[in-house]
Structure 1
């Protein structure tokens, strides 16, 4: 690929990012592009391989759904291009000296897509509902430290915390924390989204396309594009053909081989390293996987570099659990940093499973391109250790349903990473985490470590804590972390102003335009 990889992590120094995440007062303006607002225009078609499985932001886990929703909804804080936490719907926030009271100062003049005014009652409604177990919000655990929410006045919200929470600003920036109108319901929003984002829903044809139009009442700089159509085209190779014929102007590929074939006179490719990670998730509550020795045997039987080379042409790097740049895990700090079939056999023998085990494994087809190749390579490698993966390949929506219900022994998964490790894993690997059922593993030691990580404001202390988290996850083979890779953003020559991000966000569609 002729284009150089974009160093998206470059500005994320360990100290700089950690300090950005500590709860402190903040009054800098929200990031907006240097653009003559509304001066451009045009209709952009973005090729995607599957339709969003939900339009309700609090429950969105599918990448395609998240990519659409983050352009329709607003959050209290946001990430900028370098993944620093910056103001969003909260234009500033203040924290008490003991760290137990956070005062959010809301942006004025913000309205929802239906024209109603955004205010403190909507923030209270949203945060209380996300915390409510009955809502089944996927980011509920990110508000574990929030004891109460008070709408102090029309533009002020006061959060009372049970303990200081250094991860809270970053956790508030994800679309699963979108601010909703207190008048809306899940059923209504799945039909007609009603957000405060730079775009509004214009049209949807299920399984074919979803079209967004610029929101002229957006509180920030108005989007330059008139519309963005997410057009469903079942496979990445077909999207390439659509781009080369001029029917699609932008796409984000997972498969480097497809990206290479896309590059042409009218299409350029920008490769961006991602925080998202590929893993073989193991459900330690099911069958043979309840025995740590079986899980460790699987861990030792896998050559991660081989998986990377098979699935992604070696475009990426072997990873440990934490991909956040300031807290990045050392992939060599794990049992069997290199493949060791003898050690795998020893672990199986210790489990009393010398004759082998069979693990039923779900695989998503359609959400990302490398999944089936990963699964086939893992199956072949583990077979050499007398471990059989029985693969069940599912379309994206069915996979997500099974995944959320924890209805699997193992899952070949691509999970989104975050700049802060608490938001990344606190909801998975703590005993009260709302996705702990999906993770299939927790321990008192992890509960304590995550609590310490949230409460510490010292970057070096937090780094040491999350190193212990990473080691514990690896030593117990909670999952088998494989590799991180790149996203390949393909744009035709008439697209300007779009910025890919290391967290996979498409938020900078708001700054894109067509020549």
Structure 2
């Protein structure tokens, strides 16, 4: 808004100036500092947490989650199961447009679901392996027919498998659609400069446009948490993710910024390469006793205090302590150096050595060093490899690692918190651990909508998993964001994603 004050009367000038100063901004350019540069911006191919942060503003899903990790309508307004649990019928929101102006209808939904479940490049095929066919039953209704009951399907559609992209744009771009994604969310893609920024602009024809106040959003890639905070406090950023707990006091003392905290279903874990190529041929990969010894050398409570100022929730299971699918029969083991050394002696390797990959940010480096120091007291020698997220993913996918520190942002259904990482064909099972009985129990749990039955099967599976130690879960996160004092309307979600509908900037 501009005013030519030299050509206005003093009274009008005063009125205009007062109005400008008093009125809250109804639109704004919004800049967010994020830790990592995403991988490919195609829901079919992407696997990174960083990618999901961008998708949250760009690609609406058939189903969304609630702040507490329940499920709620988004592009689908309703869903119902058949009596035999073999058909899920979706009723779609009508009049929704893709960013290229094409209609988001039942044909588009079928196109996307068929692509996700059958395209050779799709990383969603395992998630949708239970889908036998997708049938268009009306302009705004779709029936998803299954080859077996699959209770987590609705939750699966609340993530990448439920993100709808323009069939016309995919037909034109093919595998390169991630270079210029065309979705149906509140913001559309503008540009991407690798390792620097991703720019989006408000989509004028968004179905829920009245809840979008921001003109544009730019994600700036800033791996260092202290640099992100500096840019927030200087006014160069409006928001930052992953505030380091040690920085919280300085935020609370600055009147120009504030902290927003919320619960999280995300967790960190150490993943071991047990069967993925030559790198698995070492003591930590070959022996569950060695891996268990490493777990016993770690003090999760101390890690939480040192690295996260006690804000996170230490634990040894994929489900958050005390929640419905967490198993109280397997509490977090305390640190026990003597027992760790005894297990190493039984395994015949009193001083095992291995390399552990971690992301190249300050928090991950501190965590790695604490783990290294603790493990050394039991006899372990750990070499830390600090890598960019892109290199980390490439090496993990290729099996070029012995151990790594992994993050999972969490999902509302328990199956999605363990199957991708630990099932024999899990798309994130980069260490290639495989146990047929474990897989059988997971399959039985997925095949029932009875919570008690599912809980019993997951608990049986957890017993196998904790005995084999293909990974070591360390703790669950707490969502921590920093914003400028004028930022209003942001709601933290337990999945840690930044949803920008409802967000505004009041000056």
TM-score w.r.t. length of structure 1: 0.86
| Offset at residue 332 of structure 1 (A) | 7.5
User: What is the aligned partner in structure 2 of residue 318 from structure 1?
Assistant: 314
- Could you report, residue by residue, the CA deviation over 1:412-463 in whole angstroms, capped at 9, with x for unpaired residues? 1222111211112222222233333x14322112112111211222222222
Answering whether residue 134 of structure 2 is matched by residue 142 of structure 1, we say: no
SS at match of 1:274: strand
- Range that drifts further, 228-237 or 194-203: 228-237
- 1:242 maps to 2:231: yes
- Cα distance in 1 between the residues matched to 2:68 and 2:373: 39
The answer to whether 1:450 aligns with 2:450 is: no
8 Å contact from structure 2 (residues 100, 166) kept in 1? no
1:129–1:135 contact (8 Å) kept in structure 2: no
Closer, same or farther: CA 159–40 of 1 in aligned 2, 3 Å: same
Q: Is the alpha carbon distance of 1:481 and 1:296 closer, same or farther for their aligned partners in structure 2, counting shifts above 3 Å? A: same
Q: 1: distance between equivalents of 2:328 and 2:404?
A: 21
- Say which SS state the counterpart of residue 343 (structure 1) adopts: helix
Alignment-derived partner of residue 478 in structure 1: 470
- After the TM superposition, which parts of structure 1 deviate over 6 Å for at least 4 consecutive aligned residues? none
Could you give the per-residue CA deviations for residues 24-57 of structure 1, whole angstroms, max 9, x where no partner exists?
Answer: xxxxxxxxxxxxxx99211111112333332112
Q: Contact 1:327–1:467 at 8 Å: present in 2 too? A: no
From 217, 230, 250, the counterpart of 2:219:
230
Equivalent position SS for 2:469: coil
- The answer to whether 1:171 aligns with 2:160 is no
- Which structure 2 residue ranges, 5 or more long, are not aligned? 1-23
Unaligned stretches of 5+ residues in structure 1: 1-37
Distance in structure 2 (CA, Å) of the matches to 1:468 and 1:318: 22
What pairs up with 1:48-447 in 2 under 5 angstroms?
A: 48-132=34-118, 134-137=120-123, 139-183=124-168, 184=170, 185=173, 187-222=175-210, 223-263=212-252, 264-285=254-275, 286-287=280-281, 288=283, 289-323=285-319, 326-330=323-327, 333=330, 337-354=333-350, 356-366=351-361, 369-436=362-429, 438-447=430-439
Distance in 1 (CA, whole Å) between partners of 2:413 and 2:103 is: 31
Whether contact under 8 Å (1:427, 1:434) holds in the other structure is: yes
Please report how far the alpha carbon of residue 176 of structure 1 lies from its aligned counterpart in structure 2 after TM superposition: 4.8
SS at match of 1:462: helix
C-alpha distance in 2 between matches for 1:390 and 1:156: 54
> What's the secondary structure of 1:467's corresponding residue?
helix
Preserved CA contact (<8 Å) 1:45 1:249: yes
**Separation in 1 of the partners of 2:433 and 2:329?**
22
* Shift in CA distance, 331/253, structure 1 to aligned 2, threshold 3 Å: farther
Q: Secondary structure at the match of 2:132?
A: strand
Aligned length: 471
CA contact (8 A) 1:320 1:331 kept: no
Change in Cα spacing, 1:461 to 1:255, as seen in structure 2 (3 Å) is same
Counterpart CA distance in 1 for 2:289 and 2:197 is 47
Once superposed, what is the RMSD of the aligned Cα atoms? 2.2
Q: Is the 8 A contact 1:60 1:176 kept in 2?
A: no
Deviations 1:95-150 (A, max 9, x none): 2111111122222211111111122232222222222261241x432212212222
Q: For residues 254 and 144 of structure 1, do their structure 2 counterparts lie closer, same or farther at Cα, with a shift above 3 Å needed?
A: farther
Q: CA deviation at 1:219?
A: 1.6
The whole-number CA distance in structure 2 between the counterparts of 1:260 and 1:281 is 33
Contact 1:279 1:483 in 2 (8 A): yes
